[in-house]
């Protein structure tokens, strides 16, 4: 707490509220953490996705391939560029973009591919990157749920042309409000985002292009610098909690536990099991004092906002089944083993009720 109060004091004393030295410091710390040359602080994860696509030149008439098993923002960022989201279903084991189905979705209009590193593990990146390379298509990683996750020893956000992070307060690395970042090795992309996030100005009041206000707050950057130092420890705690959940649920045939891909280091932003009658189970758990969540009750292709794409039920069966069965159990670093035991005991009772 003392370090956070100090961080607030420093920002206040220097009035470095929008952009400025605290953002620059966090950017270099976060780039070092992710193993990229650069990180760029922006206003949110949605900004990170949107500005990455804009910087890559995605616009009206283009297509961007992603998965419907994600938070709405992934597709929203594509639509905000004027492009069309093209969905590919997820792998039934890891719930991330199924590389086997990717190639069929790529057309001459495809300008980017966005694998989503859902729940804290990256998509199976090597086959995705190989397909992307064959088609000359940039890969933008949606790493908004995967702070510190690794694939074959490489950090989320360091494998595509850009990685997009959210620091929404509930994330593994959470700010005290809204914030996000783009990680990249590309100096040209970095330069474009620096202009786009600041009203298209390269020099103050000289606007070369139309951008937006997507700057990171100094306060958020200062808080994130403090919290970044604890990220590895809190991810280790999350993995230990997931292991205990796994052990306690191992003999429970009514529950499908999350699986970690063989090349992945998972950071368990979310520990989602799959159960039948999910909605009833959720209500029974809540009645017994255990609040669970659903990520997400409606896959993106069936959201009202995307009705115009014309996808009906059955279009992406794995994502649809997940949306009916996912139940996110409590997961945060401070969880105690007796709490996990209580959650699992309660879940078993609710499944039998």
Ligand X SMILES: Cc1ncc(COP(=O)(O)O)c(C=O)c1O
| 225-244 binders of ligand X (CB under 6 A) | none
- Closest approach, Cβ 43 to ligand X, in A, equals 8
Torsion of CA 54, 57, 60, 66, to 10 degrees: -70
Residues present in the chain in total: 353
Rule CB under 6 A: say whether 157 interacts with ligand X. Answer: no
HSE (side-chain half, CA atoms, 13 Å) at 85:
32
Rule CB under 6 A: say whether 180 interacts with ligand X. Answer: yes
Rounded CA separation 63/84 (Å): 5
Rule CB under 6 A: say whether 168 interacts with ligand X. Answer: yes
DSSP state at residue 213 = B
Q: How many residues bind ligand X (CB under 6 A)?
A: 14
Residue nearest to ligand X (CB): 45
Rule CB under 6 A: say whether 41 interacts with ligand X. Answer: no
Q: Which stretch binds ligand X (CB under 6 A): 67-75, 130-138, 218-226, 231-239?
A: 67-75
Rule CB under 6 A: say whether 211 interacts with ligand X. Answer: no
Rule CB under 6 A: say whether 70 interacts with ligand X. Answer: yes
Among 27, 36, 44, 335, binds ligand X (CB under 6 A): 44
Question: Which CB, 149 or 255, lies closer to ligand X?
Answer: 149
Site string for ligand X, 312-351 (x = CB under 6 A): ----------------------------------------
Rule CB under 6 A: say whether 116 interacts with ligand X. Answer: yes
Give the count of beta carbons closer than 10 Å to the beta carbon of residue 281. Answer: 22
Listed in sequence order, the DSSP H helices in the chain are 2-14, 21-34, 45-55, 73-80, 125-135, 187-196, 218-228, 231-249, 278-287, 317-325, 337-352
Among 23, 144, 161, 267, binds ligand X (CB under 6 A): 144
Q: Closest Cα to residue 132, out of 166, 88, 91? A: 88
Question: Cα-flanking dihedrals φ and ψ of residue 19, to 5°?
Answer: 65, -155
Q: Which stretch binds ligand X (CB under 6 A): 13-21, 25-33, 139-147, 314-322?
A: 139-147
Rounded CA separation 106/83 (Å): 14
Among 36, 66, 111, 166, binds ligand X (CB under 6 A): 166
Question: Which CB, 70 or 122, lies closer to ligand X?
Answer: 70
Q: Which stretch binds ligand X (CB under 6 A): 44-52, 153-161, 212-220, 238-246?
A: 44-52
Rule CB under 6 A: say whether 146 interacts with ligand X. Answer: no
- Closest approach, Cβ 73 to ligand X, in A, equals 4
Asked if 43 and 79 count as a contact pair (C-beta separation under 8 A), the reply is no
Identify the helix (H) or strand (E) that includes residue 330.
Answer: none
Question: Cα-flanking dihedrals φ and ψ of residue 347, to 5°?
Answer: -60, -45
Question: Which CB, 164 or 327, lies closer to ligand X?
Answer: 164
Query: What residues contact 18, with CB distance under 8 A and at least 6 apart?
Result: 215, 217, 218
- Closest approach, Cβ 201 to ligand X, in A, equals 23
Rule CB under 6 A: say whether 74 interacts with ligand X. Answer: yes
- Closest approach, Cβ 179 to ligand X, in A, equals 7
Two tokens at 194? 């620096």
Residue 198 β-bridge partners: 213
- Closest approach, Cβ 302 to ligand X, in A, equals 17
Q: Which stretch binds ligand X (CB under 6 A): 107-115, 119-127, 141-149, 239-247?
A: 141-149
Distances (CA, A) of 234 to 100, 333, 334, 353: 33, 5, 8, 35
Asked if 68 and 89 count as a contact pair (C-beta separation under 8 A), the reply is yes
Rule CB under 6 A: say whether 223 interacts with ligand X. Answer: no
Which residues lie near ligand X (CB under 6 A)? Answer: 44-46, 70-71, 73-74, 116, 142, 144-145, 166, 168, 180
């Amino acid at each position: 707490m003392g370090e956070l109060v100090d961080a607030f004091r420093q920002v206040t004393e220097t009035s470095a509220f929008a952009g400025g030295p605290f953002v620059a410091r966090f950017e270099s710390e976060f780039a070092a953490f992710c193993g990229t040359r650069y990180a760029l602080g922006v206003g949110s994860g949605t900004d990170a996705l949107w500005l990455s696509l804009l910087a890559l030149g995605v616009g009206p008439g283009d297509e961007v391939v992603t998965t419907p098993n994600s938070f709405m923002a992934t597709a929203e960022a594509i639509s905000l560029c004027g492009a069309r989201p093209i969905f590919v279903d997820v792998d039934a084991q890891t719930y991330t973009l199924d590389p086997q189905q990717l190639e069929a979705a790529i057309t001459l209009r495809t300008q980017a591919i966005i694998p989503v590193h859902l729940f804290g593990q990256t998509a199976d990146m090597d086959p995705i990157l190989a397909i992307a390379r064959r088609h000359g298509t940039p890969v933008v990683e949606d790493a908004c749920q995967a702070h510190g996750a690794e694939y074959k020893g490489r950090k989320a956000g360091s494998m595509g042309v850009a990685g997009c992070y959210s620091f929404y307060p509930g994330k593994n690395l959470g700010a005290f409000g809204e914030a996000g970042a783009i990680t990249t090795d590309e100096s040209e992309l970095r330069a474009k985002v620096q202009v786009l996030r600041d009203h298209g100005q390269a020099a103050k009041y000289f606007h070369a292009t139309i951008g937006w206000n997507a700057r990171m707050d100094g306060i958020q950057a200062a808080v994130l610098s403090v919290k970044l130092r604890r990220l590895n420890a809190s991810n280790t705690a999350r993995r230990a909690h997931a292991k205990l959940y796994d052990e306690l649920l191992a003999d429970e045939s009514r529950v499908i536990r999350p699986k970690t891909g063989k090349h992945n280091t998972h950071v368990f932003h979310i520990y989602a099991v799959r159960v039948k009658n999910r909605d009833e189970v959720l209500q029974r758990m809540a009645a017994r004092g255990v609040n669970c969540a659903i990520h997400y009750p409606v896959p993106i292709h069936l959201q009202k906002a995307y009705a115009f794409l014309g996808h009906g039920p059955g279009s992406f069966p794995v994502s649809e089944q997940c949306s009916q069965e996912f139940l996110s159990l409590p997961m945060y670093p401070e969880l105690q083993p007796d709490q996990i035991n209580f959650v699992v005991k309660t879940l078993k009772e609710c499944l039998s009720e």
